[in-house]
Amino acid sequence: MVHSKLKPFSCTLCNKSFAEKRKLTHHIEAVHLKLKPFSCTICDKSFAEKTNLTAHINAVHHKLKPFSCKLCDKSFAQKTAMTTHIDAIHNKTNLFFCQLCNKSFTMKGYLTVHVNAVHHNLKSFPCTLCDKSFKQKISLTKHVDAIHLKLKPFSCTFCNKSFSYKSSLTVHVDSVHCKLKRFLCTFCNKSFAQKGTLASHVDAVHKLMPFSCTLCNQSFAKKTSLATHVDSVHCKLKPFKEDSVIDGP
């Protein structure tokens, strides 16, 4: 005997139906009432489902990623994340395409965030601790962790410094330990380890003296001063003086 897939328990707040009453109750509590009864004992996050709490603890606090992709070296904290990765990256299926540009996303939620942030320029994620708002939830989370909680999870393996952002750690390693200067000034031949240092250099030197000599690293406030410099220094021309002109008889 084949059992028909009946779903007699319908939600009065949306068009979803369920085969069991307990699943309907859970749906209403989680989706419509926004209840999150499962709280993490390590941080202040709460979840609607126990499985999400377990996944959060394993991924965030224990740094566990037990689900490995067999097609590449990536690992994931949740099986659903691995499945989404395989479908999107390797199988190129189940992609959600933006109608306003050529970007594609593995989840509909990511597409929605992209449209709101990039094309509508919306900042839908406000910080409850200050007046800042963000286009993406992950940006809000990073802001709270770094600014308000003062967390510094990214540690340098060469020294004892720690940083709130991974990008800050990368800049630190490149500039301090590797002595790299990736940021080149387009006005002169100077290079800098940090983007902020380059910006300060441009503001201090080139915005006040925007006319740079292409033959050396000097800059000037006026175009005429640059021309005089080129003529006198590089072309070895002597300045023209009116009193040096000899009148004819």
Q: Which residues of the chain have pLDDT under 70?
A: 1-5, 94, 237-249
**The whole model's pTM is what?**
0.46
Nearest-angstrom CA–CA distance, 211 and 96: 48
90, 79 Cβ separation under 8 angstroms: no
176 within some domain: no
Nearest-angstrom CA–CA distance, 27 and 18: 9
What DSSP assignment string belongs to 18-60?
ESSHHHHHHHIIIIIS----EE-SSSS-EESSHHHHHHHIIII
Q: How many residues does the chain have?
A: 249
63 within some domain: no
Secondary element (H or E) of residue 134: strand 133-134
90 within some domain: no
Tokens of 206: 């080139």
79 within some domain: no
CATH of the domain at 234: 3.30.160
178 within some domain: no
246 within some domain: no
Tokens of 5: 């897939």
Domain that holds residue 189: 184-238
Looking from the CA of 87 toward its CB, the CA atoms found within 13 Å total 14
76, 85 Cβ separation under 8 angstroms: yes
13 within some domain: no
Assign 3-class secondary structure to 101-131: CCCEECCHHHHHHHHHHHHCCCCCEECCCCC
152 within some domain: no
Question: How many structural domains compose the chain?
Answer: 1
